[in-house]
Amino acid sequence: MALLAWLVMFLYTLLVPYKVLQIWARSLETLQLPTAVTVIAAAVLLIGHATVLGFYPVYTVISQPFGPASCFVIILEQLRFLMKIHSFLREIAPPILRARSNDGKMGLPPFSTYLYFLFCPTLIYRENYPRTPHVRWRYVIENFAKFLGCLFYGSLLFKCLSIPIFSNMNKQPLTLRRLVLSVFNATLPALYLVLLMFFCFFHCWLNAFAEMLRFADRGFYKDWWNATSFPTFFRTWNVVVHDWLYYYIYQDLLWVFKAKAQSVALLSTFIISGVVHEYAFTLCFGFFYPFTLPFSIVVVLEGMFYSTFTHGNKRPNSNILFWTYLLLGLALQFCLQSLEWYSQIHCPVQKVSILTQGVGQISCPSLLKAYITAQTFPALYV
């Protein structure tokens, strides 16, 4: 079912947007009602997006007994297709409108260009990309082998460092002392898993596909480990998504709010990114535990504070402070998410509302309820 869901989303992304754009461009040349044609094309795309790339993957994730890994694949592919379609339409539609107003030729790029864009490791559409002269198949095989090794090592980390600690948390009362100890116990596995995820996806997976497609622009990440603040970290950790957010969210918000409201545009961009992260975590883990969205707001405020009071000067200990805060943040998120995961298993929600009945296993955090219960009725844990 996971493969079927991906195939449906891919076929829609491959065929529908390009064909609708093609029909729309031809209609602008022949018909005298450009506004009506544009509205109809936009309505078709919105209905298709809402159905195939909106409702269908969410329904598949909720209705099928998938694990978190399969859910992440479906949801992340849903987001990737949406971002690629948005980039393609944003880069192609304005030149067509300008060509019509100037009585020029409104031509679409070849379909092979769009097909290449769907597979190449970038979210910014261009008709031409820098290409390498040949494919190094040995390099491709090595990266895929490293990718598989990272998956095996990640599962081993979960079995050895995560599951034994958090699966037995229900046997004793959840006190503040145990919670603090759990956060410190989660520091090492959280760091290992994040570094493993970074190397597995941003280095091995993206470089393997870039090499197979002879995609020469390999700037998937920068030296984020030398960052002195969280805004710098988010600009260098995931350059692929950062560029998309910068060009299509931040720049558009600057145009809406005017150039004077840069702080508003920056905060809005981080909030949108945080909401999307919470959406992915909620659907994949099956419960709503807001952590990324408040953290995104704190990051923006920290960046404003840093630039205001330090005037952009890098202090010698800034990188040490950054790594300290990063480790604590990763450990806190990993610990709270793990505790909530097993709280949903050991303390399932009894009352089912219309909302929870409609979305299956998605529920609000039960960690706080477990802590209150442990303090009020400690005999239940004996």
Among this protein's residues, is 277 annotated catalytic? yes
Question: Which listed residue (203, 277, 311, 346) is catalytic?
Answer: 277
Query: Which amino acid makes up residue 182?
Result: S
Q: What is the dihedral of CA 97, 102, 104, 109, to 10 degrees?
A: -30
What tokens were used for 259?
């150039």
**Comparing C-alpha atoms, which of 289, 338, 330 is closest to residue 166?**
338
Is the CB of residue 10 less than 8 Å from the CB of residue 119? Answer: no
Q: What is the pLDDT of residues 200-226, one digit of tens each?
A: 999 999 999 999 999 998 889 998 888
List beta partners, residue 141. none
pTM summary value: 0.84
Which residue positions in the chain have pLDDT lower than 70? 31-34, 100-106, 259, 292-293, 295-316, 348-382
SS3 226: helix
Is the CB of residue 175 less than 8 Å from the CB of residue 250? Answer: no
The answer for 131, left when phi > 0, alpha when psi is -120 to 50, beta otherwise, is: beta
Please state, in angstroms and rounded to a whole number, the distance separating the CA atoms of residues 321 and 334: 20
Output the pLDDT for position 306. Answer: 55
Ranges assigned E (strand) in 34-122: none
Beta-carbon contacts of residue 92 (< 8 Å; ≥ 6 apart) = 21, 108, 109, 125
Q: What is the pLDDT of residues 148-191, one digit of tens each?
A: 999 998 888 888 888 887 877 777 777 788 888 888 888 888 88
Query: Which amino acid makes up residue 138?
Result: R
